[in-house]
Amino acid sequence: MHKNQGPVYYNDYLMLEKFLSCQEPLSKKFATKENPEAHDETLFIVVHQAYELWFKQILHDLDAVLTTFKKPTVEDSEFSYIIQRLDRIRKIQAGFQNNFEILETMTPMDFLEFRSLLSPASGFQSTQFREIEIKLGLNTVDREGIDREFFLGRLNEADRTRLSGLEAAPSMLRLLEKWLERTPFTNKENFNFWTEYQNTINKMLAEDKATIEANAAGLSDKDKQGQLENLKSTQSSFDNLFNEEAHKKVVADGQRKLSQKAMLNALFIMLYRDEPMLSMPFQMMTILMDIDENFTTWRYRHMLLAQRMLGSKIGTGGSSGHTYLKKAADNNRVFADLFNLSTYLIPRSRLPKIPAEVKKQLNFHV
């Protein structure tokens, strides 16, 4: 706990004189009697500076979480801090979504009054946002071809070098993967959870097939064949998860990012989320999905705003405007593997029973 070192004045503490002098519209600088300052450029600057301030706080909290996960062992007592900081990021995201509504009070014609002054600058050059993406787990190699080009090509050399260097450090995605791989419980002496789980899945799929066959009289040959094909596809999806070589191929093809062991242990946490020892890990994974979803939503809102303001014009940074932004929203996901685990969930009533010795490890005991 820090103690007071003397009187503090509000304006001095927040450096407001300096801070509030940072909104300098270019249209004011180049204003003439015939072409006066564009009134809404101040709004444009304030909103984007507010974003950058919140990005700074997100990085502050994300760095703290990354530091914890870089340890060889993440202590149980640290999960409350991890969840608290990730949840703060989630709440910050919810707050700055409203900035789009504020920006939309500026009409497209108001924007055109100063837009040409901004070229070739663009939000793509927000190095803080790029840093957030990298630290979460979105590296240059994960991007679409055009995205990779714009990711590096629109930055100055110093920023390009710094961001490229960040990609060598372990991201949240990779640290989560290593942590999941270390998760115990699923393979103990005299108990292999995944054998029990696969037996349950096979029974459920056999029951589904029997149901289709029993109702065959009310189905056309085409409908029956379609249902059987869907069932076959479901079986293939389950088999793929448990086949290590098949899983490696899917990862190599870019369709998954997490290792098979990490995926299986994440699935175990989701299936047994009600067990006390798994409750906080489940909360953490849920918040990471929320953060991923919120950034995807933010990118879509950004795309819609760009279309609303520019129509089909190119962006100030030379991109294809809203078309490029839509591609980024569709492809720049980090934790899609966690979302896709819902494919493998089963009803609680069908969960394999956990042996007493494992059950004891999953509960708090005095």
**φ/ψ of residue 334, rounded to 5:** -105, -45
Q: Are 353 and 263 in contact (CB under 8 A)?
A: no
Integer Cα distance of 303 and 327 in angstroms: 9
Instruction: Check whether 52 has a pLDDT greater than 60.
Output: yes
Confidence tier at 211 by pLDDT (50, 70, 90): confident
The pLDDT of residue 188:
64
Extract the tokens encoding 352: 């394999």
Give the ranges where the chain is alpha helix by DSSP (H): 10-13, 16-19, 26-29, 41-69, 79-96, 99-103, 108-112, 127-136, 145-153, 157-166, 172-181, 193-214, 221-242, 244-252, 260-271, 276-310, 322-331, 336-340, 356-361
> What is the Cα 10 distance to its own chain's centre?
36
Q: Cα 180 from chain centroid?
A: 17
> Which residue(s) pair with 188 in the sheet?
191
Residue 260 token pair: 């098979």
Residue 123 sits at the vertex; the CA angle it makes with 60 and 52, to the nearest 5 degrees, is: 30
Q: What is the pTM of this model?
A: 0.88
| Strand 191-192 versus strand 187-188 pairing type | antiparallel
In this predicted structure, the answer to whether residue 150 has a pLDDT above a threshold of 80 is: no
pLDDT of res. 317: 47
pLDDT tens, position by position, 93-131: 999 888 999 999 999 999 999 999 988 887 778 999 999
Burial 124-138 (b: 16+ CB within 10 A, else e): beebebbbbbbbbbb
Could you give the C-alpha distances from 237 to 54, 257, 262, in angstroms and in order? 40, 16, 17
Could you tell me what percent of the chain has a pLDDT over 70?
Answer: 92
Domain map of the chain by residue range? 38-192+258-338
Q: What is the pLDDT of residue 36?
A: 95
Per-residue model confidence (pLDDT) at position 318 = 46
Whole-angstrom Cα Rg for the chain: 26
Q: Between 103 and 152, name the one with better pLDDT.
A: 103
**pLDDT greater than 70 at residue 151:** no
Per-residue pLDDT of 169-202, as tens digits, reads 999 999 999 999 988 766 666 667 888 888 889 8
Q: Quickly count: other Cβ atoms within 10 Å of residue 264's Cβ.
A: 23
CA distance 268 to 313: 48
Query: CA 60, CA 90: separation in Å to the nearest integer?
Result: 14
Residue 354 near residue 187, CB atoms below 8 Å: no
- The pLDDT mean for the chain works out to 88
| Amino acid, single-letter form, for residue 80 | S
Q: Render pLDDT for 31-48 as a digit per residue (tens, 0 to 9).
A: 999 999 999 999 999 999
pLDDT tens across 260-286, in order?
Answer: 999 999 999 999 999 888 999 999 999
Topology of the domain comprising 38-192+258-338: Methane Monooxygenase Hydroxylase; Chain G, domain 1 (1.20.58)
DSSP SS3 for 80: helix
pLDDT at 144: 64
pLDDT band at 366 (very low <50, low <70, confident <90, very high): very low
**Distances, alpha carbon 89 to alpha carbons 47, 70, 294, 313, in Å:** 18, 19, 10, 33
